[in-house]
A and B are shown apart, each in its own frame.
Chain A
Amino acid sequence: MSPRFSEVSEGDQLPALTVPLTRQDLVRYAGAAMDFNPIHWNQRFATEVGLPDVIAHGMLTMAVAGRAVSEWAADPGAITHFGVRFTRPVVVPDDEEGAAVEVTGKIAKKNDDGTVQVRITARSEGQSVLGGASATVRLRQD
């Protein structure tokens, strides 16, 4: 059930979300998003260009961060604005566990137009991977 505007407050935390990402997930995303940059699947290429290992697509990290907001809002169509800075790559090792992206969200502001601004954090291996991440969400007014 989607939250009502009248029932949420500035400072409220959204349910946290942890999303595991394996090499297989990166290959699947590459195909779905048509983004075949080899830094996302080819370890030899990734290390040759100076990366520690294969890294997740920034846009996949962004998509996973957006899920924390859309699942809370119960309607992905309620997100009217979504922006992030890519500050650090999510390194995905070649093993069964892969990497984990931990996402949190907090209501930073209730706007006069019936939307809320959600501030998002995303971390992997204990380090922040997105900067200035936020979403604007239109909530039920009834």
Chain B
Amino acid sequence: MPLDQSFIGREYPPTRPYEVSREKIREFAESIKDSSPLHRDAEAARAAGHPDVIAPPTFVVLVSMGAQDLIVEDPELGLDYSRVVHGQQEFTHHRPVRAGDRLVATVHVDDITARAGNDFLTVRAEITSPEGEAICTSRSTLVARGAAKEDEQ
């Protein structure tokens, strides 16, 4: 059964703040084998004009994926997560994420479409400081492979 399109436009409550530490930035940078000193050395980051070490561009997935679980796990929407694959991802950085940030995510259902038996769910996470400063906008398209397609195979 296709997903309920009346969910388009729905906004979920903001997540509790995620505190960005220097050590988590370093750990994440190492896991993607990124050797930039701007992820490790506060002096180097300051020399490049940042107040503290900055996070790699995809670091905010730590916040956006957790936040979008509010939608994915919403029993009213009834998404079968075992069928979901990540189709598309984009980040718009209003400024770099840096150590000391407290990140709050508010997720929105931007679109729901059905095509060839699959459901496409576009989710937007607006990531801000607790005071409301815009930091990053994350857009994800999740694809729920439908039963119709499986029957064809």
Contacts and interface: CB of A to CB of B under 8 A. Distances in A.
A112 B117 CA distance: 42
Interface in B1-48: 24, 27-28, 30-34, 36, 38-39, 48
Nearest to B137: A81
Contacts of A76: 34, 36, 38-39, 54-57, 96
A33 B31 contact: yes
Interface of B is mostly: mixed
B85 A86 contact: yes
A34 B31 CA distance: 11
Nearest to B98: A77
Contacts of B56: 63, 66, 70, 76
A81 B56 CA distance: 12
A82 B91 CA distance: 5
Interface in A62-87: 62-64, 66-67, 70-71, 75-77, 79-86
Contact of A34 (B34, B62, B87): B62
For A19, A58, A67, the residue with the greatest tally of chain B CB atoms inside 10 Å of its CB is: A67
B57 A70 contact: yes
Nearest to A79: B57
Interface in B42-72: 48, 50, 54-58, 61-62, 65-66
A59 B61 contact: yes
Interface in A89-142: 135
Interface in B90-132: 90-93, 95-96
A46 interface: no
A5 interface: no
Given A58-B86, A80-B93, A82-B90, A28 B30 contact: yes
A67 B88 contact: no
A67 B34 CA distance: 7
A60 interface: yes
A112 B53 CA distance: 29
A135 B62 CA distance: 20
A57 to B, nearest CB: 9
Contact of A80 (B36, B50, B89, B92): B92
A32 B93 contact: no
A12 interface: no
B89 A86 contact: yes
26 contacts: A28-B30, A28-B31, A29-B31, A31-B31, A32-B24, A32-B31, A33-B31, A33-B65, A59-B86, A62-B89, A63-B56, A63-B57, A64-B33, A67-B32, A75-B38, A76-B36, A76-B54, A76-B56, A77-B48, A77-B95, A79-B93, A81-B93, A82-B58, A82-B91, A83-B139, A84-B89
